[in-house]
Amino acid sequence: MTATTGWMQRHQIALYVGAIVGGLGFGWVTPGSDRLESAINPAIALLLFATFLAVPFRAMWTAVRHARFMLTLGVVNFVLVPVVVFGLSRFVANNDAVLVGVVLVLLAPCVDYVIAFSGLAGAASERLMAATPLLMLAQMVLLPLYLLLFIGSDAADLIEVAPFVDAFLVLIALPLAAAVLVQQLAPLVTWARGIETAMLALMVPLMMVTLAVVVGSQIRGVGEQIGALVGVIPVYVAFVAVMVALGIGAGRWAHLDVPSIRALAFSGVTRNSLVVLPLALALPAALALTPLVVVTQTLVELVAMVVLVRLIPRLVAGRHDASSLTPGGGAG
């Protein structure tokens, strides 16, 4: 790790906030900033490639053997979260575009910056990293089913399957396959080791670019539709508060250790807004507000992350850190 990379990792929260502020400023004052939208998919694909490269796939099955943590992680994200989302989404059910955006973004667990933020709070971030491919695959299978259940037949008729398939192939399957290939070749060939080293060093800059591009391309739309978007902010804030409590409660119920409980809380709160945004952008004109609903969640969540990095260690106090995890995934 170079000195520059180490410095960026230590100050990544400030850098992410700076990228968002920069994207806000550029997008607001620059005419035609919405054209940045064409850079969203490439930026996200590269970010996920770097994220998957950081996953030690050879060690992933060892992580899977932490059965209690993995099972509780699945329950939090694919049982508890849908129940909470269904309840909260009833408050915006009178607007199809807003409803689709809220359900789309809140049902998808985060697989990228949750690792960084949870690690800063002393959570078991390496377990979240090892769970990344499983979380991605599970949400891509379950998300269409939950959408059909939650948004009603009228709104569901406006959604096509093709964008979901395209997003899965381009943003998930391709970066995941490429990451596995590079990891397998890295011990054997120099160019693969070079790619692996370079992408890991670029993780923070790629996140910064992605955040800046997403915010910069959408902020004018958010400003123009602020009246329609204000109503979703309390929904997103309530989601954060409820999922912090449920994540901590689920971890304690499962008798997990302190770092694992913190990881569950972060995973329950953070959503995959950067990955579902291309799905929202591919929706028909009748749902043109949906991408802005997704971006609004990103802005609310990133503010929440800055708070939770300080708050969750106080709510889940303990002397153990993520490096002292027991092999069984619990407190013993």
Q: What is the pLDDT of residue 155?
A: 65
Q: Look up residue 122 and give its two tokens.
A: 């002393």
The DSSP secondary structure of 211-225, one letter per residue, reads HHHHHHHHHHHHHHT
Q: Which domains, ranges and CATH numbers included, belong to the chain?
A: 3-28+35-314 (1.20.1530.20)
More confident residue, 167 or 122: 122
Decide if 19 contacts 211 (C-beta within 8 A). Answer: yes
- Ramachandran area for residue 152 (φ above 0: left; ψ -120 to 50: alpha; else beta): left
Read off the amino acid at residue 271: R
Q: What is the pLDDT of residue 323?
A: 38
CA dihedral 132, 119, 39, 179 (to 10 degrees): -40
Q: What is the pLDDT of residues 156-166, one digit of tens each?
A: 676 777 776 77
- Stated length of the chain: 332
Which 8-state DSSP code applies to residue 111?
A: -
Q: What is the pLDDT of residue 329?
A: 39
Banded pLDDT at 275 (limits 50, 70, 90): confident
Q: What is the pLDDT of residues 111-153, one digit of tens each?
A: 878 888 898 899 998 888 888 878 888 888 888 888 888 887 7
Banded pLDDT at 242 (limits 50, 70, 90): very high
More confident residue, 119 or 243: 243
Q: Look up residue 47 and give its two tokens.
A: 């970010």
Q: What is the pLDDT of residue 269?
A: 97
Say how far residue 124 (Cα) sits from the centre of its chain.
16
Banded pLDDT at 181 (limits 50, 70, 90): very high
Specify the pTM: 0.84
Q: What is the pLDDT of residue 250?
A: 97
Q: What is the pLDDT of residue 66?
A: 75
Banded pLDDT at 61 (limits 50, 70, 90): low
More confident residue, 289 or 224: 289
Q: Would the CA dihedral through 197, 201, 202, 207 be positive or negative?
A: positive
Helices (H) and strands (E) in the chain, counts: 18, 0
Q: Look up residue 214 and give its two tokens.
A: 């997403």
